[in-house]
Chains A and B, each alone.
Chain A
Amino acid sequence: MARRALTWLILLGIVVILMALASAMTSESGVRLQGFGWLLWVAIGGVFVYAIYFATAEHPAWQIGTREVVYMAIGAALYGVFSYLFNGTVFVVPSVSQVALRPAIVFPVFFGYVFGPAVGFFTGAVGNILGDFLTGWGVFPAWDVGNGLVGLVAGLPVVLGRERALNLLTGLVAVLGVALSLWALTTEIQSPFFGGPLSPLMRWVPLIAAALVVALRFALGRNIALASVIVWGAVANIVGIGFAAIADIWINGYPPAVALLGEFVPAAGPNILHAAVLTPLLVGAYNALQQQLGRGAGVA
């Protein structure tokens, strides 16, 4: 399996590089490769998934046995049923965009966080398909993959180790914050909201945010159980819903601001809240159940 993953990783990497080259080489005359953006984006997503898999292929969470098959099926079915229930059949929850407010997002996050990225991905992707099947709204592959990524990313602490995963994430945010601030301080950027040059204070915002995240990590010390669920639920939604919303820039031709403010923010924002409140409750209840049954591994 690991060898196959490496083959795919290399193949997808070549596609990404070739397309980026083709686009760069044709840009000078003002004629770019048109209509291929979505393919490039999908290939980048594929590289991301295969790279994670390749790096952690040894971990038992990637082994699909009977237990995982049943958890996948139950997770997907729960996600499908609850998406259907909350999508205006039993409870009407109003929404501003095509992405209904969905408390059901807790299922890919919970199943990923407890049973690992493979179960999480399946729960998200197939559960979303099932939900859309039940409502009859149609199958939209970019959103299915996006929901799958929510489960996959939520499952990363399982394969990386919970404390290491949180440290890695803190490091990543810190590096990103420093890099963004350095970039903003050294280049002329137009303000995306008001036009004109970016105000000096705004240039420091990424650095301040990164410092806050690092401080929070140290404040937590070794007491990471709750933080881990909440943080990974949020990151999972940012990556997964972000993937689908950004894909719509090429799929539906939205300007980036519309994709971000019209799809990403209204979907990812409430999703993060739902995951942050409901996942810890589910994890706690599941641990209690484990102790009663005396089977399966509990979750820290």
Chain B
Amino acid sequence: MLVAWPYRRRGSILEAFDPRARLLFALSLMLSTLFFWDVRLLAGLWALALLYFRLNRLTWRETRRAWMLTGFIAVVFVTITFLTGRGGFEVYRAERVLARLSLPVTLFGWSPAIHLTVERIFFALSQFCRMGTVITAAILIPYTMDPTQYGVVFRGLGLPDKIAYAMDLAFRFIPTLGRDALQTMDAQRARGYELERVRGGPLAQIRRLAPLVVPVTLHALMTAEDVIDAMDLRAFGVGPRTWLTELRFRRHDFLLLGLAAALFFGSMIAAALGFGRFWTP
């Protein structure tokens, strides 16, 4: 089995909610974070995101790979920002120097040195919390959204029928195309194709992908003609579409939606009024 979605039912309390409400709440968490630079507020938002993550019954074991990767990136970028100077566009101006660390070497008249300042340290902390919140909200979406409901979810969020159906169709094509890609790869290997061989310049290496990419794409486009015919014969797009699953907001869904809206607009207003700006002790 090549393609396996990370989604499965976990029996969490949140599964009783409409998927649209859950998606909007995750997005609201992600976007609300972006209004603030105060580490105390950001830590609170991250805690909220982690609580929401936990309520979805997601475990460390199944999400470990995603956490390791995104966490690694966050640490690398926070460190680079810390070392290269003032991060964040115009978040702070004056800096209070705590210490100056320098390496005892000189390269062409330049000696590597960094100023350890209160602002830089707190900026790094805020940045880490911000990225943490966004990552937490981002990771839980693929694990908690049922791929079979994607089309109807986006239709329910106001996208036109055709676009929502295209999303649905894309999800359905994935297993077939995945199989095609692996079959093509095996077929080409049987003819002596060696993709993993690292030889030649970058252009030659890229060109080596063509025997895999071109047949799979063209085969998919040939299949497309049949799919188009089949859909046209069934009068696709002539009238409004009906969906197999119907989504209806219930009372508890409105509660979650209300929370999401309150979080987002509350954050926006608070930021406009000057709350949650960059903070140092």
Residue A186 interfacial (CB < 8 Å): no
Q: Are A67 and B170 in contact (CB under 8 A)?
A: no
Query: What are the residues of chain B within 8 A of A78 when measuring CB–CB?
Result: 177, 216-217, 220
Docked complex Cα distance between A180 and B91 (Å): 28
A252 within 8 A of B: yes
Docked Cα-Cα span, A110 to B209, in Å, equals 15
Q: Is B149 in the interface zone, CB < 8 Å from A?
A: no
Report if A278 contacts B (CB, 8 A).
Answer: yes
Q: Identify whether the interface residues of A are mostly helix, strand, loop, or mixed.
A: helix
Residue B112 is within 8 A (CB to CB) of chain A in the complex: no
Q: Does B113 contact A (CB under 8 A)?
A: no
Give the distance to chain A from B216, nearest Cβ to Cβ, in Å: 7
A74 and B172 CA atoms in complex are apart in Å by 10
Please name all residues of chain B whose beta carbon is closer than 8 Å to the beta carbon of A171 when the two chains form the complex: none
Q: Which A-chain residue is minimally distant from B93 (CB atoms)?
A: A30
Residues of A within 8 A of B70 (CB): 98, 137-138
A274 is an interface residue with CB less than 8 A from chain B: yes
Distance in angstroms from B270 CB to nearest chain A CB is 9
| Cβ-neighbour of A274 out of B173, B178, B206 (below 8 A) | B206
Do A258 and B142 have beta carbons less than 8 Å apart? no
Which of B13-21, B158-166, B244-252 lies at the interface?
B158-166
**Segment at the interface with B among A35-43, A198-206, A212-220, A233-241:** A35-43
Do A70 and B169 have beta carbons less than 8 Å apart?
yes
* Cα distance, A289 to B224, chains bound together (Å): 13
Q: Let me know if A32 and B141 touch, CB within 8 A.
A: no
- The yes or no answer to B203 lying at the interface (CB within 8 A) is yes
Given contacts A81-B181, A136-B65, A250-B89, contact A277 B203 (CB under 8 A): yes
State the CA gap A132–B143 with chains docked (Å). Answer: 11
By a CB distance below 8 angstroms, the chain A residues around B237 are: 65-66, 69
Give the total of A residues in contact with B, Cβ under 8 Å: 75
Nearest-neighbor residue (CB-CB) of B83 within chain A: A258
Distance between B140 CB and nearest chain A CB, rounded to angstroms: 8
Check: B56 CB closer than 8 A to any chain A CB: no
B:217-244 near A, CB below 8 Å? 217-218, 220-225, 227-228, 231-232, 236-237
Task: Say yes or no: is B3 at the interface (Cβ < 8 Å to chain A).
Answer: yes
Give complex CA distance A262, B95 in Å: 25
Residues on A with C-beta less than 8 A from B143 are 136
Stretch touching chain B among A5-13, A224-232, A279-287: A279-287
Supposing A37-B89, A273-B203 touch, asked if A258 and B80 sit within 8 A by C-beta, the answer is yes
Instruction: Name the contact of B87 in the complex, choosing from A70, A81, A253, A295 (C-beta under 8 A).
Output: A253
Contacts of B91 on A, CB cut-off 8 Å? 34, 253
Determine the distance from Cα of A65 to Cα of B165 in the docked complex, in whole angstroms.
12
Asked if B45 is at the interface of the complex by the 8 Å CB criterion, the answer is no
**Beta-carbon contacts under 8 Å, B122-155 to A:** 123, 126-127, 130-131, 134-135, 137-143, 147
Residue of B nearest to A89 (CB): B2
Is A254 interfacial (CB 8 A cutoff)? yes
Q: How far is the CB of B242 from chain A (nearest CB, A)?
A: 16
Once the chains bind, are A273 and B202 in contact (CB under 8 Å)? yes
Contact of A36 among B76, B232, B271, B278 (CB under 8 A): B271
One of B93, B166, B218, B272 near A289 (C-beta < 8 A) = B218
Which stretch in B34-42, B97-105, B253-261 binds the other chain? Answer: B34-42
Q: Could you give 6 example pairs across A and B, Cβ below 8 Å? A: A73-B172, A74-B173, A107-B217, A122-B163, A281-B207, A282-B214
**Given A74-B224, A286-B217; 11 other pairs, CB 8 A cutoff:** A35-B277, A66-B228, A77-B170, A81-B174, A134-B174, A138-B66, A138-B70, A253-B37, A255-B87, A270-B202, A281-B214
Binding site for B on A (CB under 8 A): 30-39, 64-74, 76-78, 80-82, 84-85, 90-91, 97-98, 103, 106-107, 110, 122, 126-127, 130, 132-141, 249-258, 262, 270, 273-274, 277-278, 281-282, 285-286, 289, 293, 295-296
7 closest residue pairs by CB, A with B: A138-B138, A73-B169, A77-B173, A253-B88, A35-B35, A136-B6, A76-B170
